[in-house]
Amino acid sequence: MAKKDRTGNRKTREQRKQLKVPELGYYLIVTDTKATERCFFTGLHKTLPDNVRNKLVIKVIEAKTRTMIDKCLELSVYDAQYRVPWIVFDRDQVQEFDEIIAEAAAKGIQVGWSNPCFEIWMYAYFGSMPAIQDSWTCCSEFGRVYEAKTGQKYSKADKQMYGKICKAGDEDRAIKIAQQKVEQCIRDGKTKPSEMCPCTTVHELVREIKRKIQ
């Protein structure tokens, strides 16, 4: 049933679209974790200037790894032309890591992947992306550096995480470091994401969002 406007008249489909469409874009991010990525991207959105935050939507949804693409496509059906679909996930123990990335790309979904884990991306805020091969060690070492830089214990569920790493680190530098790692891997002949470690493409999503406010 169509919703009514303030006068009691039913809104047309076009009127509803006009109300929903954010001027700077609607980012739909589907991830397979319940804490880290959600805290990071919702934190990023909250730090945007008020006049920008009201024009740009960042919606984070969780789904199981193998259903991320389907969930992204399902949610993108509504006003698809106004949504920018992404899936964000880690190498960790995912067996079909490369296949998921390739399938997403083939279906028009952009991918922010991290190898070995999302923390390798946040590591870059503090000036480096060390050669760590497994996610457990990466999370542990990042936690140690995070505490040294911020003076607080690292928690994947910390809603203030994004603000803290930006205050203690350097986002522009993090983006440059991440891009350099991608280019280095390619120069070394590593083209499969599962082979590119340490590496991430999350910086591409962050860079795109931040460019919207410049």
- The predicted structure's pLDDT at residue 110: 97
Residue 57 placed within a domain: yes
Q: Which domain holds residue 35?
A: 20-211
Q: What pLDDT, on a 0 to 100 scale, did the predictor assign at position 19?
A: 45
Q: Which two tokens stand for residue 108?
A: 């028009």
Q: For residue 81, tell me if it sits in a domain.
A: yes
Q: For residue 102, tell me if it sits in a domain.
A: yes
- Residue 174's pLDDT is what? 98
In order, the DSSP letters of 48-75 are S-HHHHTTEEEEEEE--GGGHHHHHHHH
- Of 176, 143, 177, nearest to 161 by C-alpha is 143
Whole-model pTM: value is 0.88
Listed as ranges, residues in the chain with pLDDT below 50 are 1-11, 15-19
Asked if residue 190 lies in contact with residue 176, where contact means CB atoms within 8 angstroms, the answer is: no
Give the model's pLDDT for residue 156.
Answer: 96
- 15 falls within a domain: no
157 belongs to a structural domain: yes
Asked, for residue 207, whether it belongs to a domain, the answer is yes
pLDDT in tens, 122-163: 999 999 999 999 999 999 999 999 999 999 999 999 999 999
What pLDDT score does 131 carry? 96
Residue 17: the pLDDT is 46
Quote the number of domains for the chain: 1
What is the structure's pLDDT at 79?
A: 73
Please give the pLDDT value at position 3.
45
Assigned domain for 12 exists: no
- d(Cα 57, Cα 124) in Å, to the nearest integer? 25
Q: Note the pLDDT of residue 23.
A: 81
Q: According to the model, what pLDDT value does residue 34 have?
A: 85
Three-state DSSP state, 148: helix
- Please report the pLDDT score of residue 4 as a whole number: 46
Task: Work out the number of other CB atoms within 10 angstroms of the CB of residue 135.
Answer: 19
- Position 21 scores a pLDDT of 65
Q: What is the pLDDT of residue 16?
A: 45
Rounded to a whole number of angstroms, the distance between the first and last alpha carbons of the chain is: 40
DSSP reduced 3-state for 39: helix
Residue 3 lies in a domain: no
